[in-house]
A and B are shown apart, each in its own frame.
Chain A
Amino acid sequence: QQQVKQSPQSLIVQKGGISIINCAYENTAFDYFPWYQQFPGKGPALLIAIRPDVSEKKEGRFTISFNKSAKQFSLHIMDSQPGDSATYFCAAFKTSGSRLTFGEGTQLTVNP
């Protein structure tokens, strides 16, 4: 049972373009939504996160948009750079359960 669905599976963007990755969740008890970034040969690392009481969070070129009624959230990477090429995972967390549920991952390639 996949409680967090992520799309697309892979994404190719030109340098300077906008990368958009989408996620949808089912469980309304989730109360924290992080995005993790993973470079080849490394473990995932927290990139940015949002709580459901706000609709948007921005950190530099990275923005999370959150739609509570639709149970969807997305990651936008503005002015995408080749160094952003990585695998991105969305996740959802339920404080009462203390565990993350991850999406399937998106492999982003930014061409120079």
Chain B
Amino acid sequence: DVKVTQSSRYLVKRTGEKVFLECVQDMDHENMFWYRQDPGLGLRLIYFSYDVKMKEKGDIPEGYSVSREKKERFSLILESASTNQTSMYLCASQKPVPVNEQFFGPGTRLTVL
């Protein structure tokens, strides 16, 4: 059974803190993604990665960075957390073309105070 796991389900941080969100997949997928989910805005792509040490900006990369040192692990970093980064963060990995299916983790609910 395919699995994407995220390091925390709930996280509370203070403004200005550096925040790490970890994602691990066990499907040997090359493509991995970080989204944030906000009511009425759907899933917005923050960053994605096609391979180890490769990264591409998504639609809303400002205030975020990523790291992919191993194929199975993709980390999202908030360099200096702000209250407008309070959100649900979802990680996904993707089967290769032509199937294209994305498998999502359960999400991390981040609150920045």
List the interface of chain A (C-beta within 8 A of B). 6, 9, 32, 34, 41-46, 49, 89, 93, 95, 98-105
Nearest CB of B to A14, in Å: 24
Per DSSP, chain A at the interface is strand
Per DSSP, chain B at the interface is strand
Report whether B100 and A32 are in contact in the complex, using a CB–CB cutoff of 8 Å: yes
List the interface of chain B (C-beta within 8 A of A). 4, 31, 33, 35, 39-45, 48, 50, 58, 90, 92, 94, 97-98, 100-107
Q: Taking A34-B101, A95-B98, A98-B94 as contacts, is the C-beta distance between A41 and B42 under 8 angstroms?
A: no
Measured CB to CB, the nearest residue on chain A to B109 is: A41
Expressed in whole angstroms, the Cα–Cα distance for A105 and B102 within the complex equals 17
Interfacial chain B residues near A44, Cβ < 8 Å = 43, 90, 102, 104
Interfacial chain A residues near B98, Cβ < 8 Å = 95
Report whether B104 and A99 are in contact in the complex, using a CB–CB cutoff of 8 Å: no
Report whether B97 and A104 are in contact in the complex, using a CB–CB cutoff of 8 Å: no
Expressed in whole angstroms, the Cα–Cα distance for A43 and B98 within the complex equals 22
Expressed in whole angstroms, the Cα–Cα distance for A105 and B105 within the complex equals 18
Report whether A46 and B102 are in contact in the complex, using a CB–CB cutoff of 8 Å: yes
Interfacial chain B residues near A32, Cβ < 8 Å = 100
Report whether A99 and B42 are in contact in the complex, using a CB–CB cutoff of 8 Å: no
Report whether B40 and A99 are in contact in the complex, using a CB–CB cutoff of 8 Å: no
Expressed in whole angstroms, the Cα–Cα distance for A9 and B40 within the complex equals 7
Q: Taking A98-B94, A99-B58 as contacts, is the C-beta distance between A89 and B43 under 8 angstroms?
A: yes
Report whether A103 and B42 are in contact in the complex, using a CB–CB cutoff of 8 Å: yes
Nearest CB of A to B2, in Å: 10
Q: Taking A41-B106, A104-B40, A105-B42 as contacts, is the C-beta distance between A99 and B33 under 8 angstroms?
A: yes
